[in-house]
Amino acid sequence: MSWDLFIVFALVAVVLWALGAFFAWKERRKAVYVCTLAGLLVFFAFIVGMWITLERPPMRTMGETRLWYSFFLPVAGIIVYSRWRYKWILSFSTMLAFVFICVNLFKPEIHSKSLMPALQSPWFAPHVIVYMFSYALLGAATVMAVYMLIRKNKTTAAEINLTDNLVYVGLAFLTFGMLFGALWAKEAWGTYWAWDPKETWAAATWLCYLVYLHLRKARPSEWQDACVLLLVSFVCLQICWWGINYLPSAQGLSVHTY
């Protein structure tokens, strides 16, 4: 498997996901599941193929993590669809996955970098996978927040409830990612938390989502403030994920810049 074949697998997957999204509008549930899962299978086949060819999990470069993000967006989408039956959610997750696929197609980075010793660990895969899944869920929560802020008074209790659920599950996975990282760091470097810039931003992001949770408990009626908070939290998350590569505070100081 190689990146040259990515366009084939990606386009087949996107077409299948788009069909799934189309059937969601037509309320043909069985077709929704069949198409979306088939798309996921095709996309995952590419990931597995890359994993075998590279002889390492494809999680090292930004391009490789985008691969997982594109995969988990429809996963999160189909989970939300199966629980809340939003007709639009799959259209949205497909579109976003497509954007990330396009970034990979048009801005290919050095994809063939070899894996340095510090990254050769059983913690590597779970650390990155749970983070990407969490990012996908929290991304969906952010879109819900924008949608609710635009529609203001038309917002329903079910929409607020969905957003809360996305954040609860997303935060749980964010916690897994952070703590797996700490346990791994102890094995690799002898210290579980070093306030490396990436770790600092992970802590800031985690705290922001904790504010959301507690704010929703303290003032349930002020969901608009909570929505604004979700936007701020997602900005922190983006800085943590890729923004720190451009921050002066992280230059030469972070062990997380690849």
Partner 1 sequence: MAWKKPWGMTEGFLIGGGLIVVGLLLQVVLGPINWSLFAWPVNLVLLILLVAFIGLMYALRKRVYAFEWMMHSSAAVPCLLFAAVLTIVMGLLPQIKTGGVPWLSQMLSFWPFVIIWTWMMVISALAALNHLLRWKVKEIPFILNHLGVVIAIVAATLGNADTQTLQMTVFSDMPEWRAIDDNGEVHDPGIAIDLHSFTMEEYPDHTPKRFASDITVYTEDGDSVQGIVEVNKPLKVGGWKIYQYGYDTSRGAYSAYSVFQLVRDPWIFWVYLGICMMLAGAVCLMLFMAPKPVKQ
Burial label, 165 (beta-carbon count in 10 A; 0-12, 13-18, 19+): middle
Q: What angle do CA 161, 18, 149 make, to 5 degrees?
A: 30
Contact status: 136 vs partner 1 (CB under 8 A)? no
Closest CA to 129 of 170, 165, 177: 177
Alpha helices in the chain (DSSP H): 6-25, 29-54, 62-84, 89-106, 124-151, 157-189, 197-218, 223-241
From the CB of 100, what's the least distance to partner 1, in Å? 24
Residue 100 or 180: the one with the smaller Cβ distance to partner 1 is 180
Q: Which of 1, 15, 204, 255 binds partner 1 (CB under 8 A)?
A: 204
Contact status: 53 vs partner 1 (CB under 8 A)? no
Contact status: 156 vs partner 1 (CB under 8 A)? yes
From the CB of 134, what's the least distance to partner 1, in Å? 10
Contact status: 257 vs partner 1 (CB under 8 A)? no
Contact status: 107 vs partner 1 (CB under 8 A)? no
Q: Distance between CA 1 and CA 128 in Å, rounded? A: 21
Q: Which of 30, 152, 154, 217 binds partner 1 (CB under 8 A)?
A: 217
Amino acid at 97: A
Tokens of 38: 């088939």
Q: Which residue has the tokens 């386009």?
A: 11
Contact status: 85 vs partner 1 (CB under 8 A)? yes
Contact status: 153 vs partner 1 (CB under 8 A)? no
Interface of this chain with partner 1, residues 116 to 135, rule: CB under 8 A: 116-118, 120-121
240, 207 Cβ separation under 8 angstroms: no
Interface of this chain with partner 1, residues 164 to 203, rule: CB under 8 A: 164-165, 168-169, 171-173, 175-176, 179, 182-183, 186-193, 195, 197, 200-201, 203
SS3 120: coil
Q: Distance between CA 162 and CA 143 in Å, rounded? A: 11
Q: What are the residues binding partner 1 (CB under 8 A)?
A: 83-86, 114-118, 120-121, 156-158, 161-162, 164-165, 168-169, 171-173, 175-176, 179, 182-183, 186-193, 195, 197, 200-201, 203-204, 207-208, 210-211, 214-215, 217-219, 236, 239, 244, 247-249, 251, 253
